[in-house]
Structure 1
Amino acid sequence: MPKTHSWRTFAQWGKKWGPIMSVKVLGTPFIIISNPDIADEMLGKTGSLYADRPTVQMALLTGWDRALSGARYNARFREYRKLIGKVIGTKGSMAKFYPVEDFQANMLLKRIFQNPEDPAAAIRKSCILLTAEFAMEQFSDIHRTGAYLVEFFPILKYIPAWFPFTEFKRKAAECIGPCNEMADVPFAYVEEQLGKGEENNSFAADLLKDKGISSEKLTDLKWSAASFYAAGSDTTVSVVYSYLMAAILYPRVQRMAQAEVDSVVGKDRLPSFQDRDSLPYIEALVKELYRWLPIVPLAVPHRAMKDNVFQGYYIPKDSLVFVNVWHFLHDPAVYKDPSSFNPERFLGPDAEPDPIDRGLFGYGRRVCPGAHLARYQNSADVSVWINIVKAVAGIEVSPAVDEKGQAKMPVPETTDGIIVRPIPFECLVKPRSEHLLHVLEEALKDGENVN
């Protein structure tokens, strides 16, 4: 098994052994899918056979088994989906969140301008999000395929921590606190606000208005909210950071995006959701950000719930099914020059496939429950879109320079794990103009009245 960035190795295996292949890892069949049509047929149209997740021992040891993404296909999983559906079950229900999304995107610009030496920190924005970020880094690490011996020998979890080969126990102990904090801290904040009678237009607040909620239901509510919040915040942080990298490596893209926003929106206000249909290049830019450095390159594995035969292949019960989303989005037969960042691939009559249609948000009964939040008129994620369009309108991005005045160009690569983000890099950011700063301050004042 590859030790890092396994999606690249799996893509090579797929070329050699075919779009559906398997390997056995200490007796467990790993089914690796390298074709999006097969993934859609197997996990979408026959999704009830593959709706489960594997039992991850490290998740059990750290408390991450309570999160939606890794939950087994059971009553708790269905309750999570039901709770999320109550609040964001329709596209129309999402409109009430647009004002706060817009305000927070404006706040992102302000934080970046206050800390231009470290825009990455500004993107991560608050102590609550920093808690979520640290917890998600741990989540990504403990879910790495084959990273911890306890996944193959579960009996090891009963051995004392001082015993050889039990480093995983020390790692698990480190993860318990941040895992709990990620769910407890923002939830307690919402409860406190509601207790004071303050207005709160959040996912959790909507559900907490049910006064007869049981303690068990309260736990489900808290963890459905935490799962939704953590995944969404991690997506936005990663994609906005990817934009800064792309703006440095491909300055022409930055100029074209800015020119479109300037021509449609002008320079006396910041773009809003109402401008979305008039900004096709920005739409293409967001799609390319998703495709270029996908956030979940190998997806979370599915588990076969019973023995079955798929297209003549015998799939044993408990097989783990891995979908190589990274390969789907970097297949040179589908995307011309896939390593290059080129939003124009999604424009015109011969546009290349939308990444959202190639497994970006999962498959079957495990598809992202925030589909209505993530899609707007068959477009990309609303939170990502509004942050990207504000960044385009307000920020000039250029490479950092070394002591000799040479540009320090970032490397378009990601961290490892089940959830990834661009590897850290340095850059220079500044407001596009002094006038922009005045426009931003006015927008923030108006936003405070709404929020």
Structure 2
Amino acid sequence: MQVNFNCDSPPSPSLHRTRPRPSATMAISAQTAIDAVLFVVAAFLAWKLWNRPGMSLPPGPKGYPLIGNLLEFPTESPWLRFAEWGKQWGGIMSVTVLGQKFVILNDPQIAIDLLEKRGLTYADRPELPMATLCGWDRAMSSARFGPRIREYRKLIGRVIGTKGAMVKFYPAEDFQATMFLKRVLDHPDMLDAATRKTAGAMILDITYGYKIVEEGSDPLVDLADTALAQFSIATTTGAFLVDLLPWLKYVPSWMPGANFKRIAAKYKKTCDEIGEIPLAWVKEQMANGAARPSYASDLLKDKDISDERMYNIKWSAMSFYGAGADTTVSVVYAYFLAATLYPEVQAKAHAEIDRVVGKDRFPTFEDRDKLPYVEAVCKELLRWLPIVPLAVPHRSLRHDVYEGYAIPEGTLVIANVWKFLHDPDEYINPSEFNPDRFMGPNPAQDPKTYCFGFGRRVCPGTHLADVSVWINVAKAIAAFQVSPSIGPDGKPILPTPEIAGGVICRPKPFKCDVVPRTPQIPKMVADYLAVVDAN
């Protein structure tokens, strides 16, 4: 059947009616609606993509709207809380505080995978407003990743960057370790002060060619010790609200609740002084022709030093102190705590020293390879009470994915070093001080793998700290008998092995009795120092 569309009769008026054209307003409204729909669809797809299996943040406690995990974020001994969380959430977990994402690593292999193998991605440091207010963003440990941090590492590395580079400092290290014995013999009840003075003397000598004042306190040692204590407080995770609410740094110091601004002003004055005073002393010595060889004097010999170069010399020199001094203070002090609590360890170390070195001299670096138990004692000291139980946070420079978990750009990644070094699967009875775990054909993991940082932010003073710790501990073993103090009731006072909070931690103060192992120890110290003075 054929249908004829060419009919002669006109079409029905209703079929021939013209549709009115839409107005501009109607067109805009339609386009806006289309854009809104597309935006919603895109947002939904992005949300689904981000939250699909394999692209979510690592697991962790749920938290609350807006504030996230603020109320449960630990400010005291956070490494212990993070370790507890790790039992529930695993080796990699996350929390969010006021929008800031934290990824916490309770598994050492994950820390190696991220912070070592992907070191460039995690080479940045967080911008800690409190530390910046205090001036510590100029120090290497806190500086953001970039050309300046690379220049710092280059300058420091040329002096103490390798084991071989440390050999030229062996005589100075040996001298200061013997001076430590003298300081303890003179004031056995001031053990903490002796360790701090010895570590400060060593670093100030290497960095600035400065010889400390032996009688009483030394102004530069006291200044540096104060500065590092303040640094530890200013950089402690969660210690100041301004680190969680950065806009608070703009409030005036007179406002209620702005006490952190007044603290920061005090701390910045100390930070400025530790950077400027010893460097000014070196310049004065050089002008008088009396400067001793040192890191700073070597660099200041260059002519036409630019302002930027001078800045890098000043603050990299200041970073030297933190690179080695605090490790030595904490670990050597911890030795006396361990000797107090574990007399069998002390006896075994004494026996090795007597067998290899004898009782007529003190151990030297030439003896190190022949003293494996003393070496094990030093490793166990680093593990038992780690000086940096939480590695200084790293900041991700770009979006990353690990084992299906998303780690967004700007995430703060914290390695729980305390957990690594107290993992019972690696270190049996981890709370016990037991150097034997590092002896024999299958020793436990060397704690130096973790306790000096990771990747491109590893401590450049690792080798300096290593030799300083070893020579001071070895000589202390050779020279002293350590035992618990006796209380009024006639019973031994056994201290509790605890560390004081902060980024850089030390054993809490304790009491012990320290006496020479043999009557000739004071004479051996005096004879050694007499030979040094004669030369």
TM-score band w.r.t. shorter chain? over 0.9
Give the gaps of 5 or more residues in structure 2.
1-72, 198-217
Indicate conservation of the 8 Å contact 1:88/1:370, yes or no. Answer: yes
Give the whole-Å Cα distance in 2 for the aligned partners of 1:270 and 1:187. 35
Displacement of 1:91 = 2.7
Give the gaps of 5 or more residues in structure 1.
375-380
Give the whole-Å Cα distance in 1 for the aligned partners of 2:137 and 2:160. 23
For 1:317, the equivalent position in structure 2 comes to 409
Alignment map for 1:358-377 (pairs within 5 Å): 359-374=450-465
Per-residue displacement from partner, 1:153-175 (whole Å, max 9, x unpaired)? 22212212121221211211221
Per-residue displacement from partner, 1:258-311 (whole Å, max 9, x unpaired)? 111111111221111111011101100000000000000011000011112122
Displacement of 1:449 = 5.0
Displacement of 1:206 = 2.7
RMSD between aligned residues: 1.5
Choose the corresponding residue for 1:21, options 93, 99, 105.
Answer: 93
For 1:328, the equivalent position in structure 2 comes to 420
Give the whole-Å Cα distance in 2 for the aligned partners of 1:401 and 1:189. 45
Give the whole-Å Cα distance in 1 for the aligned partners of 2:111 and 2:184. 40
Give the whole-Å Cα distance in 1 for the aligned partners of 2:493 and 2:277. 38
Indicate conservation of the 8 Å contact 1:59/1:65, yes or no. Answer: yes
For 1:343, the equivalent position in structure 2 comes to 435
* Equivalent position SS for 2:386: coil
* Equivalent position SS for 1:434: coil
* Equivalent position SS for 2:121: helix
For 1:444, the equivalent position in structure 2 comes to 529
* Equivalent position SS for 1:157: helix
User: Does 2:252 align with 1:143?
Assistant: no
Given the superposition, is the C-alpha separation of residues 416 and 371 from structure 1 closer, same or farther in structure 2, using an over 3 Å criterion? closer
Deviates more, 1:256-265 or 1:209-218: 209-218
* Equivalent position SS for 1:297: coil
The amino acid across from 2:85 in the alignment is W
User: Does 2:398 align with 1:398?
Assistant: no
Indicate conservation of the 8 Å contact 2:396/2:408, yes or no. Answer: yes
Answer with 1 or 2: which has the greater Rg.
2
Per-residue displacement from partner, 1:5-60 (whole Å, max 9, x unpaired)? 00011011111101011010111111000111111111111111110000010111
Indicate conservation of the 8 Å contact 2:134/2:234, yes or no. Answer: no
User: Does 2:507 align with 1:422?
Assistant: yes
Question: What is the TM-score normalised by the length of structure 1?
Answer: 0.95
Q: Higher RCO, 1 or 2 (CA under 8 Å, sep at least 6)?
A: 1
Indicate conservation of the 8 Å contact 1:97/1:201, yes or no. Answer: no
* Equivalent position SS for 1:117: coil
The amino acid across from 2:171 in the alignment is P
Deviates more, 1:221-230 or 1:206-215: 206-215
Give the whole-Å Cα distance in 1 for the aligned partners of 2:508 and 2:105. 26
For 2:120, the equivalent position in structure 1 comes to 48
Displacement of 1:199 = 5.5
For 1:293, the equivalent position in structure 2 comes to 385
Indicate conservation of the 8 Å contact 1:87/1:206, yes or no. Answer: no
Deviates more, 1:158-167 or 1:270-279: 158-167
Alignment map for 1:154-173 (pairs within 5 Å): 154-173=246-265
For 1:57, the equivalent position in structure 2 comes to 129
Give the whole-Å Cα distance in 2 for the aligned partners of 1:269 and 1:351. 30
Greater than 4 Å deviation, 4+ residue runs: none
Give the whole-Å Cα distance in 2 for the aligned partners of 1:91 and 1:231. 15
For 1:106, the equivalent position in structure 2 comes to 178
Identical residues among aligned pairs (%): 55
Per-residue displacement from partner, 1:187-242 (whole Å, max 9, x unpaired)? 33333333333362332233223233223212211211111213311110111110
The amino acid across from 2:239 in the alignment is A
Indicate conservation of the 8 Å contact 1:414/1:422, yes or no. Answer: yes
Indicate conservation of the 8 Å contact 1:240/1:388, yes or no. Answer: yes
- Count of matched residue positions in the alignment of Structure 1 and Structure 2: 443
For 1:377, the equivalent position in structure 2 comes to none
Displacement of 1:254 = 1.1
For 1:68, the equivalent position in structure 2 comes to 140
The amino acid across from 2:456 in the alignment is R
